[in-house]
Amino acid sequence: MAAGDSQGALADAGAADLPGGLGHVFPLGSRLNEAGRLEIGGCDSLELAREFGTPAYFYAEDDMRARARATVAAFRERASGSEVVYASKAFPCTAALALFAEEGLLCDVASGGELHLALRGGYGAESLYMHGNNKTVAELRQALDAEVGCIVVDSFDEIARLADLTADGQRVLIRVAPGVEPDTHAKIATGQEDSKFGVPLAHAARAIEAAEGAGLMVLGMHAHIGSQVFDLEVYETLGEVLSGLGKFPVVSMGGGFAVAYTRDQRPPPPSAYAEAMLSAVPNDRQLLCEPGRSLVANACVTLYTVGTVKEIPGVRTYVAVDGGMSDNIRPMLYDAAYEAQIADRFGESTPCRIVGMHCESGDVLVPDAALADPRPGDVLAVPATGAYGHAMANNYNAVPRPPVVFCRAGDARLVVRRETYDDLTARDV
């Protein structure tokens, strides 16, 4: 790890007061207070649960800021012109967008809705990169009307659509499918040739010609090869591939920076990503990176309330909580693994399966957990839920989506309220 690397420092700071080697999975500054209760952003988790209800997403604001600063510093120290673009799909929340805008990050939006949120969050349109493998004409028009800084074109059809919209002079990046494959879950791998994303590498030259022919200003090439990328050599290969496609001013290498969902995961620090990404990019080019999850995942703890504990002799113990696949669908989508602890009784005496309250056997949050003698009424803390949790939340079983609370220096502020039953019928006509 590079000396002074701030993500390393972050991990160490987070680990200071939590037992079981869990510190780096929880938000920066988390600790057990004198009463043995988990604190998030200086706030007592049991009081948070009482005040805001459960399930709810609690983010340590300082954690997000620290990770944003560490990532920007890692890239700028090595290449002063490089930019960090927040992939807002990870946590598309106006308060978070406002925070990252304040920290000087640019922003990736992947739909008309995300574009709307980023503008509402205070982003200037010129700081926005409009992504999407199938942008509608309405979304392209919305992006052009807003005067977004750059559209990342994904296909020949999209180039034709932009030509029809007379988007003359619009700055674009061309997304390619580079054939560079990280070692990650198939459902979050996007760099392979056989992908719905991007122009096939073999057609990149023709796409550049078509875009320039349509009057678009091609700034450079883009690729996002996947997420939870631990082995960084792929970024060196990617840098070579993208830089080799033409002498354009910008090389945009996507996100994918890994995070620690579980205690055994030790993601490389941002400096390692910066080194790897910059290593194969000529220094007369501007490098863009687009991290999403690494800026927000570990900042958040979801708090649930345990409702039932069912022991099936000789089989297993089921611990059911008041949320599940409606607030975190990642275990079902990707077999994503999470840690869990009773918020005021860290420990691992009871092997159990933590399940949600939805009508699916697959509604499992942690298949093989170990908790300290779980009982109904306990508050359960699941860390590292800050990315693609709120973003993918849904109303299955007509469950209102949880609130989002930002915690800082002992103060908690509601930034997204809990949905109500009236919200569930608000679209009825």
The footprint of ligand PLP (CB under 6 A) covers: 87, 89-90, 108, 131, 224, 227, 254-257, 290-294, 387
Question: Smallest gap, in angstroms, from Cβ of residue 251 to ligand PLP?
Answer: 14
> Phi/psi at 338 (nearest 5 deg)?
-135, 160
Contacts of 175 by beta carbon, 8 Å cutoff, 6+ apart: 131, 152, 153, 154, 197, 198, 199, 221, 222, 223, 224
Indicate the residue among 29 and 226 with the shorter CB distance to ligand PLP: 226
Distance of CA 278 to the CA centre of its chain: 22
**Active-site residue flag, 289:** no
Question: Smallest gap, in angstroms, from Cβ of residue 197 to ligand PLP?
Answer: 7
C-alpha distances in Å from residue 247, one per residue of 200, 284, 297, 321 = 19, 10, 35, 54
Which of 24, 5, 13 has its CA nearest to residue 384?
24
Rounded Cα gap, residues 68 and 104, in angstroms = 9
Indicate the residue among 224 and 401 with the shorter CB distance to ligand PLP: 224
Question: Smallest gap, in angstroms, from Cβ of residue 19 to ligand PLP?
Answer: 29
Question: Smallest gap, in angstroms, from Cβ of residue 397 to ligand PLP?
Answer: 27
Indicate the residue among 192 and 397 with the shorter CB distance to ligand PLP: 192
Indicate the residue among 211 and 379 with the shorter CB distance to ligand PLP: 211
Indicate the residue among 51 and 231 with the shorter CB distance to ligand PLP: 231
First to last CA, the chain: 57
Describe the crossing of helices 94-102 and 112-120 by its angle, rounded to 10 degrees: 60
C-alpha distances in Å from residue 416, one per residue of 5, 92, 173, 305, 419 = 33, 11, 33, 20, 9
Given 289, 300, 359, 407, which residue is catalytic? 359
Q: Where are the alpha helices (DSSP H) in 149-306?
A: 156-164, 204-213, 233-243, 270-279, 293-296
Question: Smallest gap, in angstroms, from Cβ of residue 11 to ligand PLP?
Answer: 18
Indicate the residue among 196 and 206 with the shorter CB distance to ligand PLP: 196
Question: Smallest gap, in angstroms, from Cβ of residue 267 to ligand PLP?
Answer: 11
Neighbours of 208 (CB within 10 A): 21
Joined together, the tokens standing for residue 311 give 């022991």
Alpha-carbon torsion, ordered 94, 96, 102, 105, to 10 deg: -110
Are residues 120 and 92 in contact, defined by beta-carbon separation less than 8 angstroms? no
Active site residues: 359
